[in-house]
Amino acid sequence: MEHRNHYTFVTLLALTLLSLSLQAQEVTGKIYDKRTGEALVGAEVTVPGSTVGTVTDLFGQFTLRLPPGASHLQVRYIGYDPVKVTELTRDINLGLVESISTLEQVVVSANREKELRTEVPAAISTISPQKMEETAPNTLDQVLNKIPGVFVADLANEQHMTSIRQPISTKGLFLYLEDGLPIRPTGVFNHNAMNELNQGAIRSIEVIRGPASSTYGAEAIGGVINVITQAPSLDLTGRVAIRSNSNGLRRTDLRLANTYGKTGIFVGGYYARRRDGFFEHSDMDKYAGTLKLTHALSAATDINLSVTYADLVTDMTGSLDSAAFFGEDLTSVQTFTERTVSALRVQSTVNHDWNDKGTTSARLFFRDNSIGQIPSFRIRTDRETGVTSGTINERTFQSYGSVIQHSHEIESLGAKVIGGVSIDHSPTDFFEDYILVEQDARGINVGYTEIDSVLTKNEIDLTNIGAYATFQVRATERLKFSTSLRYDRFRYDHRNFLPPSSFSGSPDAVSTFDAFTPKIGFTYDLSNNRGIYANYAQGFVPPQVGELYRGVQIPSLDPSVYNNYEVGGWYSFHLSRKLKGYSNVALYQVEATNQIISVQLDDGTRENRNAGEIRSRGIEYMLHLDFDRQLQFRWSGSFAEHEFIDYVENGTEFNGNDMAQGANRLFNWEVTYRPKQLAGAWLSIENQHMGPYWMDNANTQEYEGFSLFNLRSGYRFQALDVGFTMLNFLDESWSPRANSSRFGTTFIPGIPRTYQVHLAYNIGQE
């Protein structure tokens, strides 16, 4: 009897311990991006068929106590393929793969924080890390031109001009960001600003099409390009890559990242060198590097530091006249024109979660920048005297500023409020000297002589103070409203070190500008990944310092104002078990007033005035199809019209004319094949097409446009990547920008057929 009782007691104890073990079984793990190694913060880890679940923390880590009978976990993260975990070990390390065809992606550019793309009432597109890696762009136009309605004109060696809902332009209509911070301050816009980036640190790119001044302020008119840099990885990862092409380019990239305890580190950069390119006088040297540190002060607070430096020295090739371009004579008339860029950016950000409803971020930043050049576009030959002259100039600036933002969810109202303030103080110096240019018998500019003639020398203190707020409310389960308002005040304090004149610029002056910029919109979910949106947004551009003070006797200009009206929608579909896809479309109209134009006065001098009104309207579209994850097809494009409404310049009326460099038709399609029989291999063909456009505002000279085909292929075997690219493989003669003016008709020559190979070794990546 006693023996039987002892046996019963042991059995009950064993069953009790087993039951407690099942009830107390705990799993931990880390969820990360399989391609980059970055932690996926907020990934959902759940036990199917139960209410048990959790989300990952700042380091992608989670801890979950399993209920009895749990056999597997489900891991989900927006924009990635879901994964079923059946091996419930103590330490789960899981790398997720980006979904090839999905609309459920997270974007950060719309309101400076993470949001679902389908809940943003705006046209916004993303270039993913996979697309960046497979395209291996030497210049960012090679990826940005895949986005609907976007065309970035490559002017050689990372110099560029942009067109988004506006003609190809050098005007300050496009805002370039790095991790949400403008690369340059308002007032000193440079259309080449993306050559100040470190391409070797780019993770992804987001593009907002249309005005975003209600969040980011001035210059966010045609669009915003936000380059998002790589974050530290959870474990040791890295990439060493080299590339070489038949256009004289050699480039080496290096990335390393890891996390040590509560501190993450990333370092990445590249060195690029071009010699003996297809166009004479087109050499380049550039090196750039980025250091990023992240540290978790606590579960609710983290601090981040980012330092980026870029140094570029490039020849400025100039353009060709009609005879040389159509005769395919790529002899440059320049031998000494150049551009040198030095750009340092430092930013430090503290993020604090007060609770699950409220978050505050505070950012300090510093910029130190200089651009010196002997510009090819300033070299001119006087028809009466035969004298050829040009200029040397340099602009420098240092910036000191901060951005503080707080967001708070009001659960009882189904609402969210985002508010912030910013300040940017950027003293800038500028000088420009006159040079006499020497030409040989062929008309080649072979040298120059500096003479004691300073054209411009000034200092300007630029100060921009801004405040913005966004209110979002879910009126119903499917309908969400969003409204934003920003106030900006600008102060330009100008000091002229030369006697004021039509050459040296205006007298000492202080100019101030104020602007309120609203935006209102809504999204409506039609269910099954279908939805529509609409918005009204206003943008503005204050006068650039060159427009106000350079070659102007009296600075009297107001900001240009842009009003954007837009409707759009998205649609995701499954036509069969193996065929799925998604599409989106946007229709817009942009009306601009107070355009700054140059007016010739009675005494022969010129004056800038706010006297122009223009209108741009069009439709942007994108279709993506995925056939069983083996064959992907994408077609992105736009139809647009850019028209002068009320525009008289130098006595010539352009009312009703099309704006120069404003193509009506633009599209880019791409087919990618990934054979299942050879995992890791892929092959793609891409077509970039631009329709004809007028080269002058008088609409007398037309450029026929172009259609280029690019071929790319790659293969990843374990840690090794091999790639081959053939750009413009039909070897079309083309120009990214053609222009006609009183100085003649000119063309920037586009790259001919170019072969490129690249090889990369990946450290710590599957």
Q: Taking Cα atoms as reference points, which of 110, 104, 121, 111 lies closest to residue 522? A: 121
Bridge partners, 348 (sequence order)? 305, 364
Instruction: Tell me what pLDDT residue 604 has.
Output: 47
Per-residue model confidence as pLDDT tens digits over 424-456: 999 999 999 999 999 998 889 999 998 888 999
Per-residue confidence (pLDDT) for residue 590, from 0 to 100: 94
Q: Which of 67-81, 432-446, 636-650 shows the lowest per-residue confidence on average (mean pLDDT)?
A: 67-81
Q: Which three-class secondary structure state does DSSP give residue 319?
A: coil
Q: What is the pLDDT of residue 598?
A: 56
pLDDT in tens, 310-324: 999 999 988 999 989
pLDDT, position 752 = 96
Alpha helices (H) along 618-674: none
Q: Of all residues in the chain, what percent carry a pLDDT higher than 90?
A: 63
Mean pLDDT across 656-678? 94
- pLDDT at residue 16 above 80? no
Residue with the bigger pLDDT between 625 and 43: it is: 625
9-23: average pLDDT: 51
Residue 550, SS3 per DSSP: coil
* CA pair distance 208, 120, nearest whole angstrom: 11
- Phi and psi dihedrals of 489, rounded to 5? -130, 130
The confidence score (pLDDT) of residue 12 equals 53
Retrieve residue 206's tokens: 């987001």
Token readout for 47 is 């036990």
Q: Say how many C-beta atoms besides its own lie within 10 A of residue 689's C-beta.
A: 16
What would the mean pLDDT of 147-151 be, rounded to a whole number?
96
Task: Provide the β-strand partners of residue 539.
Answer: 562
- Mean pLDDT over 504-519 rounds to 90
Q: What is the dihedral of CA 169, 174, 178, 182, to 10 degrees?
A: 110
Put residue 529 in one of left, alpha, beta given phi > 0 → left and psi -120 to 50 → alpha: left
- How many alpha carbons lie under 13 Å from residue 646 in its C-beta half-sphere? 9
Indicate whether 157 pLDDT > 60.
yes
Q: Is 749 exposed, middle or buried (0-12, 13-18, 19+ CB in 10 A)?
A: buried
> Is the model's pLDDT at 278 over the cut of 50?
yes
For residue 265, pLDDT over 60 is answered with yes
Contact present, 405 and 114 (Cβ < 8 Å): no
Report phi then psi at 689, rounded to 5: -125, 135
Contact at 8 Å (CB) between 641 and 659? no
Question: Where exactly does CATH 2.170.130.10 map onto the chain?
Answer: 106-224
Q: What class is the 225-307+329-763 domain? A: mainly beta
The C-alpha atoms of residue 697 and residue 659 are separated, in whole angstroms, by 5
Taking the C-alpha atoms of residue 692 and residue 499, their distance in angstroms, rounded to an integer, is 46
Question: What is 106-224's CATH number, 2.170.130.10, 3.50.50.60, 3.40.50.300, 1.20.210.10?
Answer: 2.170.130.10
Residues of the chain with CATH 2.40.170.20: 225-307+329-763
Q: Which two tokens stand for residue 675?
A: 């054979």
What is the band of 200 on the pLDDT scale with cuts at 50, 70, 90? very high
**Residue 158: φ, ψ to 5°:** 70, 5
CA angle 709, 715, 716 (to 5 degrees): 140
For 26-64, the pLDDT digits (tens) are 888 888 888 888 888 888 888 888 888 888 888 888 888
Cα dist from 276 to 241, 337, 564, whole Å:
22, 16, 45
Nearest Cα neighbor of 282 from 752, 731, 696 is: 752
How far apart are alpha carbons 754 and 143 in whole angstroms?
A: 17
- pLDDT over 70 (residue 191): yes
Residue 575's pLDDT band (cuts 50, 70, 90): confident
- Amino acid found at 572: S
Q: Which of 23-27, 302-306, 704-708 has the lowest mean pLDDT?
A: 23-27
So what's the pLDDT on residue 240?
97
372 pLDDT higher than 80: yes
Q: Is the pLDDT of residue 419 over 50?
A: yes
On the CB side of 42, CA atoms within 13 Å amount to: 7
Grade residue 20 by pLDDT with cuts at 50, 70 and 90: very low
Q: How many CA atoms does the CB half-sphere of 291 hold within 13 Å?
A: 5
The C-alpha R_g of the chain, in whole angstroms, comes to 28
- Confidence band for 22, pLDDT divided at 50, 70 and 90: very low
Q: Nearest to residue 724, comparing CAs of 669, 670, 684, 679?
A: 684
Query: What would the 3-class secondary structure string for 200-229 be?
Result: HHEEEEEEEECCCHHHHCCCCCCEEEEEEE
Rounded alpha-carbon distances, angstroms, from residue 469 to 112, 271, 424, 444, 645? 11, 41, 18, 56, 33
Quick one: pLDDT at residue 754?
97
Prediction pTM value? 0.92
Q: What stretch of H or E contains 332?
A: none
Residue 599: is its pLDDT beyond 80?
no
Amino acid identity of residue 144, one-letter, is L
Tokens 């975003």 correspond to 212
Per residue in 78-92, pLDDT (tens digit) is: 778 888 888 777 788
Identity of the residue numbered 525 = D
Report residue 298 as tokens: 């606590």
Residue 105: per-residue pLDDT: 76
In the chain, what is the straight-line distance between the N-terminal and C-terminal CA atoms, in Å?
62
200 vs 558 pLDDT, higher one: 200
Classified by CATH at the fold level, domain 2-96 comes out as: Immunoglobulin-like (2.60.40)
CATH 2.60.40.1120-classified regions of the chain: 2-96
Mean confidence (pLDDT) of the chain: 89
52 SS3 class:
coil
| Other Cβ atoms closer than 10 A to 426 | 21
CA distance 211 to 232: 32
- Both tokens of residue 446? 């072979």
CA angle 524/534/98 to nearest 5° reads 65
Q: Give dist(CA 540, CA 561) in Å, integer.
A: 5
